[in-house]
Structure 1
Amino acid sequence: MPAADAEVAVLIVGGGPVGLTARALLERWGVPALLVEKHDGLSPFPRARLVNVRSMEIYRGLGLADRIFAGAFPPEYGRVRFRDTLLDQDFATAAMVGVNAPIPESPTIGVVTSQDRLEPILLAAARAPVRFGAELVELTEEDEGVTAVVLDRRRGGRTRVRARYVIAADGANSTVRRLLGIGTTGPGAMGRFTSIVFDADLDPWCAGRPAGVYFTAHGIFTPLYPEGGWARSLPTPEDPAHADWSALVSRALGSRAEVEVEVVRVQHWVMSAFVAECLRHGRTLLTGDAAHAVPVIGGLGMNAGIADVHNLCWKLAGVLQGWAGPGLVETYEPERHPVALRTLRQAVANTRLMLDVQERYEARRRSGEPEPTDMELPWSERYFAQLGLLLGVCYRSGAVLTGDGAAPEPPDPGTDYVPTTEPGHRMPHLWLGPGRSTLDAFGEWFTLLTPEPAREPPPDPGRPGPGSARPEQPAVPPWPLRTEPLPGRSTGPYDPGPRETLLVRPDGHVAARWHDGVPHVSAVRDALAALTAHPPEPSR
């Protein structure tokens, strides 16, 4: 095997939001990474339009939330509106719960923003090298790592990169997935679409009734930036090379007003719906659209990919830094694959709900009934019924200690989010102090949430005590661990038990729970060893 031209702990393939988020997370953990992206730079197209509440929790932990908020629409744009044409009145509207206003279940809210606004923030969030115009062309799995061949698309040279692990974040048409021969399940390509980015003064019809998405009988319209810009998405015409894009937008706006339209750019894309048959192949992990491509309605795709790498990167850090065994990385697939399947089902359901609204409106028009001015929506106020999927995800794997030795299938979170500290679930948000949430206590460490007041776990007579370690950092090497007192009473949607102690993973999911107060250091150590697949200590 020829020597590699470069070696790195983790090679990230793909420079979209998912790959860039992985790069930022790995840098927080001190893990060297290299990101390669076949395109010459960040995408100039708006693409994804919603950073949901769970993703904003993750970016809050990375210290990026304020910068993302600064370039996003204000909360009143967290709404969908249904119209015949964009210049007509609404016949239905609904709030995007968790975007249009704060919710008690989270310390932050989601935002309506464009992918081309998000990506520069993510790129600036880490210093790990990024190679644009570098296309992965070969991938070879080895016992101790992966060797990749990367083509410089501008100069034509090839570089061999050896990595301990590879994160594939290279989109629905993933080269990594193809090279590894990983199949997919699901409907596949659901149609070809075109997004027309244009400038027009639509304030007389939209400024007083803002929304992040306008569903019309003539396509979907979305405002792009707070300072201006629009996009219209529609099925790709039969002869796109000769299409009059300005005329297509003008006709869709309606004929009751003269609106000057200036087309800025046009992008053709395929709506795909599938989940990869597996998310791990040796030391290569699929994330984002490479792992699961879902319809765009509801904004679940990019956000699911952000959750993928949030689940994965701390596990890679544990193995690479020696406080976890390789089995920890193997828990990525059993935890995220069921979520990918549920996300696909939810996105398909969202699409059907959206179409149902338009079909019922058209049916009433055809029947001769007066056009409705306020039509009831076929879903609850929980916009497209997805808050449970965002905050209610439950993991079942070796990285979760259920306490009974069993590992049942994770429950379907359903449409509503019900806060719980059952192991596997995201730790509920509670305010620990002014502006500080339980979610802010998690980071590049495990967290032991103890009954108030905080106190150090009592020593186990059979093992050396924690010595002079401070209560917030109990001595349980080699694992990074901090303690945090839970408030005695909660004013939020969840009230912890008076003697409940929780061990929370770096990704904010509960790993273990004790009901009878703070456990011995030995119990905490044993729990950490079990859930990180750490080799047992040598006998003394």
Structure 2
Amino acid sequence: MPGADTEVDAEVAVLIVGGGPVGLTARALLERWGVRALLVEKHVELSPFPRSRLVNVRSMEIYRRLGLAAEITANAFAPEYGRVRFRDTLRGDDFATAAMVGVHAPVPESPAIGVVTSQDRLEPTLLAAADSPVRFGVELIDLVEEAGSVVAVLVDHRQGRGRETRVRARYVVAADGANSCVRRRLAIDTAGPGALGSFTTVVFDADLDRWRARQPAGVYFTAHGSFGPLYPEGGWSWFGPTPEDAAHVDWPDLVSRALGPGSGVRADVLRVQQWTMNAFVAERFRHGRILLAGDAAHAVPPIGGLGMNTGVADVHNLCWKLAGVLHGWAGPGLLETYETERHPVAHGTLRQSVANTRLMVQVLNRRRDQLEAGERASARVGLPWSERYFAQLGLVLGVGYRSAAVLGDDDGAPPEPCDSGTDYVPTTRPGHRMPHLWLTHGRSTLDAFGEWFTLLTPDPARWEQQSDAPWPLRVELLPEERLVSCGLRPHGALLVRPDGHIGARWRERPPNDAALRHAVSHVVSTTTRSTRPGGGR
């Protein structure tokens, strides 16, 4: 067991455990912040399974900032695949359909557009996005906190060596999935429904274009499981409940029967993966210097595509805070706000994902009842939600944080808590994602944010004299025609955190020459107790 004077083989600022999209995104974000991390993944390579299929509009905003959006889009399906279709069989006609919001077509609330793409197409792009070391085939088996660090015991399984090494890290980010070894070793409990059942994903080749060419979709829900095209050039997946005696199932026959009687198609099965659909949120996201992210912190049903995307937003919230602490311009207390801000989001996401699953089942049940009542097969089924894909844009773009890293508005109102509603209403209230507004042709407010704090103001000269400080900060001109949208007057300002969420708002001129310094000091440290953006200590 490691101790205070443990000899170690390497020392790193951050150890990332888990090489899925969340861990790889954390690695890219930290490197952009000048923090070189070490990522370890127990599998010997990136996952060959498609798994997550949707990169939503908020994740694409984050990848746009990392310079990855164009490549991700180039490897993805065309926007018309951003739709779900309900059919009796894949060969049949739609009895219901809905567009995926922010994927099927651009939305005015964002400069980005989400994409339908398989996780095994996304991960290579994320892996290539940073140079920080990655060690595949290396499993974490133990970790112990010491004074000012964490010592992790790793086992290298490559070529059967089984050699143990010890790595000392200032912080550990556990992104090692729903069955997180790190969460189990820390004895962090979970809350929620838990395991919802055993499911199987079958990856197969078959010529099915004649049934989808004129009506493309990212997912086709049927009474015999769900089908999804994997890549623009071909390939399919089937997903459904795991049959009894799965070890003896003829998977090509099962998929062929699921396609419907008389299909005449024999599926060429390439891979089969059995997995458990989980629904839970970890009771805490932090244990000292160890922080949980992604499925390690919250596992949600896949219907609606919220799981991976919520994990990407986790590390987008976390990594600038880690960088600030490691670079010395933020206090360690800033990391406390990670759990404070993201825990409510995880619970809201879980509720919505469970609701999405019930809505999907409700549609299929309505169809069954309709057919049993003798209605014609061409009859439509009304969807129990709006045309927006499972009505989730409010949860994707409308999250509001309430923590010590957000100041109350200058009207005295406290920050608003996370809103898990399904409708998105842009707002510049502190704690919320800064709305997308065009600053100039082709340049969004979201393009102004990066590895720094941003002050958006129509009066830069008045505020720039306050910008000399140890933390990274840029003053950005806000066009006067955007004042009403932002709730500002001619000398007001918005302080935007590096993750694009508003930290403070002054509707009018600063109350004193130290207002900006006090505000950023409050955001990056828990020592400042004022909750008004103009306040002092």
Q: Give the equivalent residue in structure 2 for 1:53.
A: 57
Residue of 205, 219, 233 corresponding to 1:199: 205
Q: Give the equivalent residue in structure 1 for 2:89.
A: 85
Q: Give the equivalent residue in structure 1 for 2:433.
A: 426
User: 1:478-497: CA deviations, max 9, x gaps?
Assistant: 01000111122249x94543
Q: Give the equivalent residue in structure 1 for 2:524.
A: 532
Q: Give the equivalent residue in structure 2 for 1:294.
A: 300
Tell me: CA distance 1:158–1:458, structure 2 relative to 1, closer, same or farther (3 Å): closer
Q: Tell me how far apart the structure 2 counterparts of residues 409 and 424 of structure 1 sit (CA, whole Å).
A: 7
Residue of 489, 499, 506 corresponding to 2:481: 489
Tell me: CA distance 1:282–1:387, structure 2 relative to 1, closer, same or farther (3 Å): same
Residue of 277, 286, 294 corresponding to 1:280: 286
Q: Tell me how far apart the structure 1 counterparts of residues 272 and 489 of structure 2 sit (CA, whole Å).
A: 58
Amino acid at match of 2:475: T
The answer to whether the 8 A contact 1:489-1:496 is kept is: no
Q: Give the equivalent residue in structure 2 for 1:471.
A: none
The answer to whether the 8 A contact 1:182-1:277 is kept is: yes
Q: Tell me how far apart the structure 2 counterparts of residues 104 and 409 of structure 1 sit (CA, whole Å).
A: 24
Please give the root-mean-square deviation of Cα atoms over the aligned residues, in Å: 1.7
Q: Give the equivalent residue in structure 1 for 2:451.
A: 444
Tell me: CA distance 1:369–1:528, structure 2 relative to 1, closer, same or farther (3 Å): same
Following TM superposition, by how much is the alpha carbon of 1:403 offset from its aligned partner in structure 2, in angstroms?
A: 3.7
Q: 3-state SS of the aligned residue for 2:351?
A: helix
Q: Give the equivalent residue in structure 1 for 2:408.
A: 402
The answer to whether the 8 A contact 2:293-2:314 is kept is: yes
Q: Tell me how far apart the structure 1 counterparts of residues 101 and 479 of structure 2 sit (CA, whole Å).
A: 27
The answer to whether the 8 A contact 1:94-1:381 is kept is: yes
Q: Give the equivalent residue in structure 2 for 1:140.
A: 144
User: 1:302-360: CA deviations, max 9, x gaps?
Assistant: 00000000000000000000100000011000100000000000000000000000001
Amino acid at match of 1:497: L
Q: Give the equivalent residue in structure 2 for 1:339.
A: 345
Kindly report which structure 2 residues correspond to 1:288-327, keeping only aligned pairs within 5 A, or say none: 288-327=294-333
* Unaligned stretches of 5+ residues in structure 2: 529-537
The answer to whether the 8 A contact 1:81-1:92 is kept is: yes
- 1:512 paired with 2:510, answer no
Q: Give the equivalent residue in structure 1 for 2:7.
A: 3
Q: Tell me how far apart the structure 2 counterparts of residues 121 and 25 of structure 1 sit (CA, whole Å).
A: 14
Tell me: CA distance 1:458–1:250, structure 2 relative to 1, closer, same or farther (3 Å): closer
Following TM superposition, by how much is the alpha carbon of 1:518 offset from its aligned partner in structure 2, in angstroms?
A: 5.3
Tell me: CA distance 1:411–1:23, structure 2 relative to 1, closer, same or farther (3 Å): closer
Q: Tell me how far apart the structure 2 counterparts of residues 419 and 386 of structure 1 sit (CA, whole Å).
A: 14
The answer to whether the 8 A contact 1:454-1:483 is kept is: yes
Amino acid at match of 1:183: D
Amino acid at match of 1:346: Q
- The number of residues matched between the two structures is 520
- 1:385 paired with 2:391, answer yes
Q: 3-state SS of the aligned residue for 2:430?
A: coil
User: 1:226-273: CA deviations, max 9, x gaps?
Assistant: 000000001112122211111111101112331232111111111000
Q: Give the equivalent residue in structure 1 for 2:534.
A: none
Amino acid at match of 1:92: A
In the superposition, the TM-score normalised over structure 2's length comes to 0.94
Q: 3-state SS of the aligned residue for 1:489?
A: helix
Amino acid at match of 1:37: E
Residue of 343, 354, 360 corresponding to 2:360: 354
Identical pairs, percent: 69
Kindly report which structure 2 residues correspond to 1:32-47, keeping only aligned pairs within 5 A, or say none: 32-47=36-51
User: 1:196-231: CA deviations, max 9, x gaps?
Assistant: 101111111101000001000000101000000000
Q: Give the equivalent residue in structure 2 for 1:12.
A: 16
Q: 3-state SS of the aligned residue for 1:229?
A: strand
Amino acid at match of 2:220: Y
Amino acid at match of 1:33: A
Following TM superposition, by how much is the alpha carbon of 1:369 offset from its aligned partner in structure 2, in angstroms?
A: 2.1
Amino acid at match of 1:264: L
Following TM superposition, by how much is the alpha carbon of 1:519 offset from its aligned partner in structure 2, in angstroms?
A: 6.2
Q: Tell me how far apart the structure 1 counterparts of residues 65 and 363 of structure 2 sit (CA, whole Å).
A: 37
Q: Tell me how far apart the structure 1 counterparts of residues 379 and 205 of structure 2 sit (CA, whole Å).
A: 28
Q: Give the equivalent residue in structure 1 for 2:531.
A: none
In the superposition, the TM-score normalised over structure 1's length comes to 0.94
